[in-house]
Amino acid sequence: MPAATKDAVLGSAVDLARAVAVDLAEDPSDVGEYLGLVVEGERLVSHRFASAARGYRGWEWTVTVARVPRGRTATVCEAELLPGPDAVLGQAWLPWSERIRPGDIGPGDVLPFKADDPRLEPGWTPTGDPELDDVAIDELALARIRVLSPQGRDEAAERWYRGPHGPTSAGALASAAACGSCGFLVPLQGSLGTVFGVCANQWSPDDGTVVSVDHGCGAHSETDSEAPPTDWPAADPLIDELSLELVNLTESSAAPAKTTEATVADEAPTAPTDADVPTEPTEPREPADTAIEATTAPDETDAAPGDAEVTPDEVEVAPVADAAVEPDAAPEPDAAPEPDAAPEPDAAPEPDVSDADQPATRPDPEP
């Protein structure tokens, strides 16, 4: 087919093409300067005019004219506003399934059902085997009509990991520790739980959000903030000169004396009771070689030891005050009680008296 040549009749129809463009535009000023012509074919030429209309920068008014063979008159075929090389164009048309973006679904909006969604696959069908059904239904939660497919799981993991809750976010790079060691991280179930978890810290900017284990924020459970440096000098210690503590010197000096008196009273031996003296054997004692002081008979001092036989029942034995008698140890049968005077009922026993006639000594009480 021979190449189209320039047509003189159609090439000179510039005024006709402008008039048609002005009629097509809302305002005559929307038709700008003449941009030239384009030979579309045999006896077919398009004239172009710049568009000055608001919002159509780079667009062109295009008027196509033609003529019949051997004709001398140009005829308008079509006129329209077409985008030029530098035109500002809108996005290409996409179906709703590809055009929708996160956040476009508002309250009350419902997406149409998509039966062939590649992100889903049929769920678990019970087989009757308790072992398999318990794992699939109770542990993996697959008892649904459709569950996440491997493609949907991989897409979600890639989207979450590369998103603002992954390791490359500004908060994760500035954090001191990762979410994997935080006590507020709740791991997910299944294979996604090895990489992701849900944040359960109300002070964290990611509270209630799926985060990766290598994500991080300033609300980590095991980190702490350092005290900022200050230019203020350290304050001197404060001395409280207004509070007074009243001390009674008389009572404080008398306290050691009372303590000493109480100590002496505790250390003084007490008179043994009948319960402390062990029971003697039933066989009688022979007090032939021991002098016994009798308090009941006044004329025993003149009698010789061999004049009268003294039985154990007639002699009042004075308790021994010098030595403490152990309850568990019984005295020897042949031992006679020491000739110490029996202590008065109201008087304290004399601790170290060797002679019965020596008066008892007591510590002088302090005033």
Residue 98's Cβ-count burial label (10 Å; 0-12, 13-18, 19+) is exposed
Interatomic CA distance for residues 176 and 226, integer angstroms: 12
What confidence score (pLDDT) does residue 213 get? 95
What confidence score (pLDDT) does residue 226 get? 82
In order, the DSSP letters of 167-178 are TTSHHHHH-SS-
What confidence score (pLDDT) does residue 289 get? 47
Interatomic CA distance for residues 32 and 1, integer angstroms: 36
pTM for the full predicted model: 0.41
CA 290 to chain centre: 88
pLDDT tens readout for residues 238-263: 888 888 888 888 876 666 655 555 55
What confidence score (pLDDT) does residue 234 get? 80
pLDDT by residue for the chain (367 residues), tens digit each?
A: 445 677 888 989 999 999 999 999 989 999 999 999 999 988 999 999 999 988 888 999 999 999 999 888 999 999 999 998 888 888 788 887 788 888 888 888 888 888 888 999 888 888 888 878 887 777 777 888 888 899 999 999 999 999 999 999 999 999 999 999 999 999 998 889 999 999 999 999 999 999 999 999 999 999 988 878 888 888 888 888 888 888 888 876 666 655 555 554 455 555 555 545 455 555 555 544 444 444 444 444 444 444 445 454 444 444 444 444 444 444 454 544 554 544 454 545 555 544 445 545 555 555 4
Neighbours of 78 (CB within 10 A): 11
Is 40:4 a contact under the CB 8 Å cutoff? yes
Is 75:10 a contact under the CB 8 Å cutoff? no
Neighbours of 265 (CB within 10 A): 11
Q: What is the side-by-side strand order in the sheet with 185-187?
A: 185-187, 196-199, 210-212
What confidence score (pLDDT) does residue 264 get? 46
Is 342:296 a contact under the CB 8 Å cutoff? no
What confidence score (pLDDT) does residue 366 get? 54
Q: Backbone dihedral region of 247: left (phi > 0), alpha (psi from -120 to 50 degrees) or beta? A: beta
Interatomic CA distance for residues 331 and 317, integer angstroms: 14
3-state secondary structure of 120: strand
What confidence score (pLDDT) does residue 365 get? 52
